[in-house]
Amino acid sequence: MKKLGVLSFILLTFLLAACQQETQGSSEISAKELESRLGDAKILDVRTMAEYDSGHVPGAELLPLQEIEANPSSYESLARTETYYIICQSGNRSSQAVALLEEQGFENLVNVTGGMNEWQGEIEK
């Protein structure tokens, strides 16, 4: 019985370590939390140009998900160790963009959950 407990503990430790490693480097915040960080935040808006032009978070840089997928030069100028807040309309495309950019060596990406649907702050056009 004691061996089973030790074995379970070791298995649980490995599972927790694997989960932690999988999410290392990226995180999530709400649109409301992003509002409080606007001063220093580097924001990448991964929506289409038409969506971006209809209104975006002040200071956000447009980098459409389609460009990230099709054209690696679209993000070459971005520092891979900088913290970037990734936003879209709902949080789905931004989550995809985070995964794609992490595969390219970006280390500090933050997905904005709820995206522009949840954004209540000022909007730039």
pLDDT digits (tens, 9 = 90+) for 28-81: 999 999 999 998 899 999 999 999 999 999 999 999 999 999 999 999 999 999
Residue 25 CA to residue 4 CA, distance in Å, equals 34
User: pTM higher than 0.85 for the full model?
Assistant: no
Residues 6+ apart with CB under 8 A from 108: 25, 26, 81, 82, 83, 84
**Residue 66 is encoded by which pair of tokens?**
């389609």
Distance CA 36, CA 49 (A): 25
Structure token digits, residue 33: 């939390």
Q: What is the pLDDT of residue 31?
A: 96
Give the pLDDT confidence score for residue 25 in this predicted structure: 56
